[in-house]
Structure 1
Amino acid sequence: MRAARLELWSFREDVHVETDQDTGRLTLHGRWDDVRLPPQCPAIREALRRMTLGPIRLENVLADPADRAALARLLECCPAMVVRSMGFGPDELVLSVVPLTPQARFLPVEPAPGRPVRLSRFATLTTDGSSYRLESPLSLHRVVLHGPRAVWLLSALGAPVPPEEVAAPPLTDLLGYLLAAGMVVAAEDTEPPARFAEDEDPVLASWSPLELMFHTRTTLGRHDGDYGATYPGGDREPDEPVVVPAAGPVVALPRPRWAQVLAHDPPLSAVLEARPGEPRFPAAPPTARDLGELLYRTARVRTLNRPADRPRAELSERPYPSSGGCYPFELYVVVHRCAGLARGVYHYDPLGHRLELLTTAGPAELLDAAAIAANLPGPPPLLIVVTARFRRLSWKYGGLGYVLALKDLGLLVRSLSLVATAIGLRSRPADGGDIECAARVLGTDWRAESSLSALAVGMPDERGGDRCERRPRNGADWPARAAARLARAWRARSGLG
């Protein structure tokens, strides 16, 4: 005998019902808002109370059809609090549709016969350890799959198929829930080949499913996850120290003097307007003094701090800003040619302003990859690899730790590039690196500390210029003027001016 379909109702887990003992009015307290309801009869009050405990069948709680209609009208006032579920038989819960935002509205639909359906290419299936979770950046709902029937249905929707061929009642009711939640999409018409709106939407064409999901889950508005400075670990101190202690031989770096920096730095406008030109590096290598000044002015630890509200959490302050003072980045210097430094891979200690030698055997692999990534004719003299210790952010921030790392990364790389230009070094970003290669050479666990970017660094190429055709618009002569100003500043620094 075929199991009967059961429509079930409940509230989100964060909803609770409060009754005013004097007036009898009800208040539904939810994640985003409170909803006040007029006094209700005991049967409806009991139904609302039981909805906070889990899915119920309205017919089992409210025998009077009039009461069920009245409750349905009440629930229309708070659709973002209501979870719609479906089961087969009294003990088989199959799926639940959970609203994720205050704007979420759910109306089950019936699949149109002969009109192909498939799983949305933006839908992702994960597990929280107890049940499957189906989500899409295009949907304001999460579908929780409690049983194998729903998972089996998904397995049949990898390619377009008419609904009557993939499921018979009551599984077609599950399909209707998935359609209404936006996890399954229907073709535009019944004529082959099947065409789907999400495939032809020019806006969606610019997004990959992974990138769009990342965007919606690291911003507010389309999810219900924790977000912001939520301190997921509670009151414990950060999992990672503010500075990684050195374990190998170290090399002290020269430190610039404030008076010399002020005397020889070119104006900020000249640095900003400088045109990178062709990414070529000459025979003359940079020096340990150049590298020391670059790292000192951009990445050293200026102070160690303990916030008043988290006295066990050690933070720091450095020349570039970082979210919450967490500073998750580590800098590794790969030396190919640098006067005063032996070839090898070093880790920068921003507190001691020194380099720790990690290996002399690994530069070639990283340098060759950087030359390709930065479109260089050969390995750069220096390569600064930036990694992130992600737990420096995740101990404090929920839902946006990784996106904060990416934003802070831009500030660091830009600071490195600007200061390099100011002191007479040419630099070139080398993004899109091989995280496995970097972890292998640097000796890190990519899950805990992974490379995010790199900057190729060398001396300015006097040949200069590039082969790009330029059509003057706004201040097109400024880069040439900046170049002349920078040349004078660089000659003065080297004692030639």
Structure 2
Amino acid sequence: MSETIPQIILSFKPEISIIEDAEKGLILKAPYIDFNLNKLSPGIVAAIKIISTAGATEKALSQLVVATDGSSALAKFYYYLEQFVILGLVYHTLEIDGSAIATAVPIATPYKWQLSETITDNNYQLSRFAYCHSEKSHLVVESPLSKAKIILKDWRSAALINELSQPKAISDLTTIPGISEATARLFISFLLTAELLSSVNNNSSLEQSETLTQWEFHDLLFHSRSRGGRHSNLIGKTFRFLGQIEPTPVLKAKPSNEIINLYKPDIDSLKQTDTPFTAILESRKTIRQHGEKPITVAQLGEFLYRSARLREIVPRDNMDCSNRPYPTGGACYDLEIYTAINRCENIDAGLYYYAPEEHQLCKISGKTKQVEALLKSAGLSVQIEVEPQILILLSSRFSRVNWGYESMAYSLILKHVGILYQTMYLVATAMNLAPSGVGGGNSELFAAAAGCDYFAESSVGEFILGSR
């Protein structure tokens, strides 16, 4: 029995079609661009028609062009084929006996496909940046290093991916039923071309550079998928759930009726008497040590009023928004403020929610073990031995952003955290208080302490405040 010969089939992405226009003639319609095929030779047009239907190998397509137009037309055919590839219009599918096992799908441009060579003596392993997930009934392999994703069409390609989780030689892969050495070699070449594999020689990965070594998997994936350039997903304010899910209200319901009305400063008076902005900006600094006398509830009230009160609700057609002292994307204001209080004059220790419209604190709990753990963790994060006077916890009601924004929602939320940090730093400096941003926190612990659904609302930032 002869060995199965694997091959790579070229085809256009499904949304591309060839139409006969009454005025323009034969047109190749692609997303955002049309190609007029009328001036091309019959052989090239015939090859393009095959790519737009069943697809064929590059060898078969070139043979068709030569047979129809002569060898002189081959260079022009390859020029157009390269342009289609660069524009991300061409899929490459690995087939065995007419059965597809994997398809490389371009997700970013300019795209390049030049089949990589394999080395028999080398071992190969999946890149540490590669990951699998389910997408439209198929298993898909992607990596932030790659401008393509690989759709695994059947169990054989999934089995090969599983084997490549460890360093394997080409010959090692032939133990999988139906996988010949030729198929294993072409599959390795296929993944190398898509930058999903690392070549390993003497247990040393050839993928790593000093730059890549310093990236963690989740950070590079987050960076590449939340900004344009390395994926084909929609990005921006697409209102993707409009008409499907009701938008989250501007204001969160108060968690309790145990309320403290906070002091409201005279903003007009402060405009006249406050320290000049440049002086505040230049003197702003992190102060981790707090004074012996704790911050007062009046100071906390002024700080929250100047930093984060709700000025007004702004009705809009798609989702109501609001106006506050700091800016956010689309005025969606997803951030909520909680105060874990250890020491504050005239207020009991515990966890409180800040209601920005009425400028009130709503008590959630006393100083429970969870609240104490939040305070201690924040203190350790900024290298102070005692619990801070006040820990301000910034949570996000994620759906306020997720509802309208696509691909970039969480990155936008983190920008909001940074904006509010700076606003709080400047207000604290103007008030002669001691501010300190915290680099990280425990979102699971916060959700448990505040009684929130981790996936609906959990902490995304922490900020320590106290007296000087």
TM-score by length of 1: 0.83
Deviation at 1:38?
Answer: 3.4
Q: Secondary structure at the match of 2:363?
A: strand
Superposition pairs of residues 192-207 of structure 1, within 5 angstroms = 193-199=202-208, 201-207=209-215
| Correspondent of 1:175 among 184, 188, 204 | 188
The answer for the alignment partner of 2:198 in structure 1 is: 185
Give the whole-Å Cα distance in 2 for the aligned partners of 1:312 and 1:216.
29
Answering whether residue 361 of structure 2 is matched by residue 355 of structure 1, we say yes
Deviation at 1:64?
Answer: 4.3
Answering whether residue 35 of structure 2 is matched by residue 35 of structure 1, we say yes
Give the whole-Å Cα distance in 1 for the aligned partners of 2:286 and 2:447.
31
Superposition pairs of residues 121-270 of structure 1, within 5 angstroms = 121-167=128-174, 168-187=181-200, 193-199=202-208, 201-235=209-243, 239-249=247-257, 250-270=259-279
The answer for the alignment partner of 1:113 in structure 2 is: 120
Q: Secondary structure at the match of 2:406?
A: coil
The answer for the alignment partner of 1:281 in structure 2 is: 290
The answer for the alignment partner of 1:398 in structure 2 is: 406
Give the whole-Å Cα distance in 2 for the aligned partners of 1:85 and 1:194.
31
Deviation at 1:43?
Answer: 8.3
Equivalent position amino acid for 1:343 in 2:
A
The Cα offsets for residues 407-449 of structure 1, whole Å up to 9 and x where unpaired, read as 1110101101110121121111122101111111011122221
The two structures, once aligned, show a CA RMSD in angstroms of 2.7
Give the whole-Å Cα distance in 2 for the aligned partners of 1:103 and 1:366.
47
Q: Secondary structure at the match of 1:338?
A: coil
CA contact (8 A) 2:65 2:77 kept: no
The answer for the alignment partner of 2:177 in structure 1 is: none
Equivalent position amino acid for 2:148 in 1:
H
After superposition, the Cα gap between the structure-2 partners of 1:370 and 1:319, relative to the gap in structure 1 and judged at 3 Å, is same
Alignment: residue pair count = 450
After superposition, the Cα gap between the structure-2 partners of 1:126 and 1:440, relative to the gap in structure 1 and judged at 3 Å, is same
Answering whether residue 451 of structure 2 is matched by residue 447 of structure 1, we say no
Equivalent position amino acid for 2:358 in 1:
G
Deviation at 1:454?
Answer: 0.8
Deviation at 1:65?
Answer: 6.0
| Correspondent of 2:319 among 313, 318, 331 | 313
Q: Secondary structure at the match of 2:237?
A: coil
Give the whole-Å Cα distance in 1 for the aligned partners of 2:385 and 2:421.
22
Equivalent position amino acid for 1:306 in 2:
P
Answering whether residue 432 of structure 2 is matched by residue 419 of structure 1, we say no
Q: Secondary structure at the match of 2:25?
A: coil
Give the whole-Å Cα distance in 2 for the aligned partners of 1:428 and 1:446.
25
The Cα offsets for residues 91-113 of structure 1, whole Å up to 9 and x where unpaired, read as x3211101122310112234121
After superposition, the Cα gap between the structure-2 partners of 1:50 and 1:277, relative to the gap in structure 1 and judged at 3 Å, is closer
The Cα offsets for residues 103-134 of structure 1, whole Å up to 9 and x where unpaired, read as 10112234121122221122122222511111
After superposition, the Cα gap between the structure-2 partners of 1:444 and 1:53, relative to the gap in structure 1 and judged at 3 Å, is farther
CA contact (8 A) 1:24 1:40 kept: no
Give the whole-Å Cα distance in 2 for the aligned partners of 1:17 and 1:288.
71
Equivalent position amino acid for 2:163 in 1:
A
CA contact (8 A) 2:234 2:407 kept: yes
More strand by share: 2
Equivalent position amino acid for 2:66 in 1:
A
The answer for the alignment partner of 2:380 in structure 1 is: 372
Q: Secondary structure at the match of 2:198?
A: strand
Q: Which moved more, 1:321-330 or 1:109-118?
A: 109-118
The answer for the alignment partner of 1:344 in structure 2 is: 350
The Cα offsets for residues 378-413 of structure 1, whole Å up to 9 and x where unpaired, read as 111111100111111111111101111111110101
CA contact (8 A) 2:265 2:305 kept: yes
The answer for the alignment partner of 1:24 in structure 2 is: 25
After superposition, the Cα gap between the structure-2 partners of 1:298 and 1:146, relative to the gap in structure 1 and judged at 3 Å, is same
Give the whole-Å Cα distance in 2 for the aligned partners of 1:198 and 1:367.
42
CA contact (8 A) 2:392 2:464 kept: yes
Deviation at 1:216?
Answer: 1.1
Give the whole-Å Cα distance in 2 for the aligned partners of 1:350 and 1:166.
61
Give the whole-Å Cα distance in 1 for the aligned partners of 2:44 and 2:458.
55
Q: Which moved more, 1:319-328 or 1:438-447?
A: 438-447
Give the whole-Å Cα distance in 1 for the aligned partners of 2:53 and 2:395.
46
Equivalent position amino acid for 2:330 in 1:
G
Deviation at 1:137?
Answer: 1.5
Equivalent position amino acid for 1:427 in 2:
P
Deviation at 1:144?
Answer: 1.0
Give the whole-Å Cα distance in 1 for the aligned partners of 2:385 and 2:53.
66
The answer for the alignment partner of 2:390 in structure 1 is: 382
Deviation at 1:51?
Answer: 4.7
Superposition pairs of residues 20-99 of structure 1, within 5 angstroms = 20-31=21-32, 33-39=33-39, 48=48, 51-52=51-52, 64=64, 66=66, 74-79=80-85, 80-90=88-98, 92-99=99-106
Which runs of 5 or more structure 1 residues have no equivalent in the other structure? 461-497
Equivalent position amino acid for 2:202 in 1:
P
Which runs of 5 or more structure 2 residues have no equivalent in the other structure? 69-73, 175-180
